[in-house]
Amino acid sequence: MAKTNNNSNQQVWNVSDDDSLYGQVSQAAVLLLPRGLLVAGFRQDNDLLTLHYSGYNNNRPIWELAFFEQLFAHEPLLATKATVKGVFILPDRQLLIPDELYDKTEAENWLRKIHFMERSDVFQCYALPEAKAQYLIAVPVNITELIRINFNKATILPASVYQFSNIPAKGAVVQCLISAEQVSTTLHNNGQLLWHNVFDYNKAEDIAYMLMQVIDENLIPRHQVTVRCNAVSAAEHKVIGNLSQYFPGITTGDGYGFTSGWESAVSLALQLFSCV
């Protein structure tokens, strides 16, 4: 179900209508993204039970601290902070650097040249062994402090991390993580990482244009590319549906088809949770 007003959007998915569902949640994962938060609740055996998404419109700041503070304090799935196993961040500023080129100071300077940075922004770098690269992101310091205070025992990772592991050894694969405003996407060919980017979009055609351009630049026939899409909520289902006009056979991130609005968000939660 979804609730919306002029400034916010709340959506809930439950695996069943069982009244005891929430009492079965013993593990959780959290995804923070510009103007949004997704919380996934799991059973002890790692079965996904529920998804809670909350977001707000772009007439408010990208990382509005009060929004995240309120949800961390009042979201039922976060009532027991120790149950949160993983906290994932979808950054609006990021840089992927091959291991052989990585230098901490230079990497941070590169990111400053590419993106506008606040003086208080915090750099965080994550090793991606399978990609043989380092993933540098910039996050507002108040957001990093909020995560540290609330989830000091959780594993903290960029949301894109799942896109760099368990890649098919054969074939060309595009992976997309779609939110209301952004797309995090990678292109692998025969297991080799060729491209990664996080970019803003307004409509599905913007995503299709970017993907087609990159696929063509790498001399890969479009009909040979498998496109897999995850999303942060059911609201992006229409975007994925429109994108399928350009890439027939599009699936969820874990390779399944779409029959309703939530498969892509369920796939995202499962793939993220597998990383912690």
As a whole number, mean pLDDT of residues 76-95 equals: 95
Q: Is residue 108, in this structure, part of any structural domain at all?
A: no
Q: What is the pLDDT of residue 7?
A: 55
Q: How many structural domains does the chain have?
A: 1
In a domain, 94, yes or no: no
Query: Rounded to an integer, what distance in angstroms lies between the CA atom of residue 195 and that of residue 215?
Result: 10
Q: Classify residue 233: in a domain, yes or no.
A: yes
Residue 1 has pLDDT above 60, yes or no: no
Cβ atoms of 77 and 25 within 8 Å: the answer is yes
With contact defined as beta carbons under 8 Å apart, do 133 and 96 qualify?
yes
C-alpha distances (whole Å) from 202 to each of 3, 142, 194, 205, 233 are: 22, 28, 25, 8, 16
Lookup: tokens for 128: 């991606």
Q: Provide the residue range defining the domain that includes 237.
A: 165-273
Residue 129, domain member (yes or no): no
Res 32 pLDDT > 80: yes
Write out pLDDT tens, residues 94-114. Answer: 999 999 999 999 999 999 999
200: in domain: yes
**Dist CA 107 CA 119 (whole Å):** 16
**pLDDT (tens digit per residue) in 39-73:** 999 999 999 999 999 999 988 999 999 999 999 99
Does any domain span residue 187?
yes
Assign residue 193 the CATH number of its domain.
3.30.420.260
- Pick from 62, 59, 39: nearest CA to 51: 39
Residue 246 lies in a domain: yes
Return the percentage of the chain with pLDDT > 70, whole number. Answer: 97
Q: How far apart are CA 50 and CA 186, in angstroms?
A: 27
- Domain membership flag for residue 46: no
